A and B are shown apart, each in its own frame.
Chain A
Amino acid sequence: MSEPSQPVRDSFARVEAGMKRRRAAERRFRFFGKCAVGLGLGFLVILFVSIVGNGYSAFWQTRITLEVTIDEASIDPSGVRDPAVLQAADYGALIKQSMRELFPDVSGRRNRIALYGLVSNGASFDLRDRILADPSLIGTTISLSVAADDDVDMLMKGHIDRGAPEADRRIKDNQLAWIEKLEADDRIGSAFNLDFFSNGDSREPELAGIRGALMGSIYTLFVTLGLSFPLAVAAAVYLEEFAPKNRWTDLIEVNINNLAAVPSIVFGLLGLAVFINFFTLPRSAPIVGGLVLTLMTLPTIIIASRAALKSVPPSIREGALGVGASPMQAVMYHVLPLALPGMLTGTIIGMAQALGETAPLLMIGMVAFIADVPAGVFDPATALPVQIYLWADSPERAYVEKTSAAIIVLLLFLAAMNALAVLLRRRFERRW
Chain B
Amino acid sequence: MEAQASQFMAENPEHAPARRRPAEADSATYDREHRGTVGEVRSEVPRMRCTAVNVHYGDKHAIRDVSLDVGKNEVLAMIGPSGCGKSTFLRCLNRMNDTVVGCRVSGEILLDGKDIMAPDVDVVPLRARVGMVFQKPNPFPKSIFENVAFGPRIHGLAQSQAELEEIVVSSLQKANLWGEVKDRLAHPGTGLSGGQQQRLCIARAIAIQPEVILMDEPCSALDPISTAKIEQLIDELRRNYSICIVTHSMQQAARVSQRTAYFHLGDLIEVGETDRIFVKPQHQLTEDYITGRFG
Contact = CB atoms under 8 A, between A and B. Distances in A.
A326 B127 CA distance: 10
A399 to B, nearest CB: 53
Nearest to B94: A322
Contacts of B99: 314, 317-318, 321
Nearest to A338: B141
A245 B132 contact: no
Contacts of B94: 322
B138 A318 contact: yes
B128 A334 contact: no
**Which secondary structure dominates where chain A touches chain B?**
helix
Interface string B256-290: 00000000000000000000000000000000000
Contacts of B96: 318, 321-322
Interface in B96-149: 96, 99, 101, 123-128, 131-132, 134, 136, 138-143
Contacts of B142: 334, 432
B139 A325 contact: no
Interface residues of B, number: 30
Contact of B131 (A245, A322, A333): A322
B154 A329 contact: yes
B195 interface: no
A342 to B, nearest CB: 14
Nearest to A244: B101
B5 interface: no
Contact of A318 (B134, B154, B207): B134
B140 A324 contact: no
A75 B13 CA distance: 118
Interface in A173-222: none
B138 A319 contact: yes
Contacts of A320: 140, 150
A321 B201 CA distance: 13
B138 A324 contact: no
A24 to B, nearest CB: 39
Indicate the size class of the contact surface on chain A. 20 to 34
A72 to B, nearest CB: 75
Contact of B141 (A317, A326, A432): A432
Q: Which of A319, A324, A329 has the most CB of B within 10 A?
A: A324
B205 interface: yes
B256 to A, nearest CB: 21
Contacts of B123: 321
Q: Which of B125, B128, B151 has the most CB of A within 10 A?
A: B151
Given A245-B101, A329-B154, A321 B127 contact: yes
Nearest to B129: A324
A52 B94 CA distance: 64
B204 interface: yes
Given A245-B101, A318-B99, A325 B138 contact: no
Nearest to A329: B154
Contacts of B207: 323
Given A316-B140, A319-B139, A322-B94, 6 more contacts: A316-B138, A318-B134, A323-B127, A323-B208, A324-B125, A324-B128
23 contacts: A315-B136, A315-B138, A316-B141, A317-B99, A318-B96, A319-B134, A319-B201, A319-B204, A321-B123, A322-B131, A323-B151, A323-B154, A323-B204, A323-B207, A323-B208, A324-B125, A324-B126, A324-B128, A325-B150, A326-B154, A333-B150, A334-B140, A432-B142
Closest 8 CB pairs between A and B? A324-B128, A315-B138, A323-B151, A324-B127, A322-B132, A319-B138, A432-B141, A326-B124
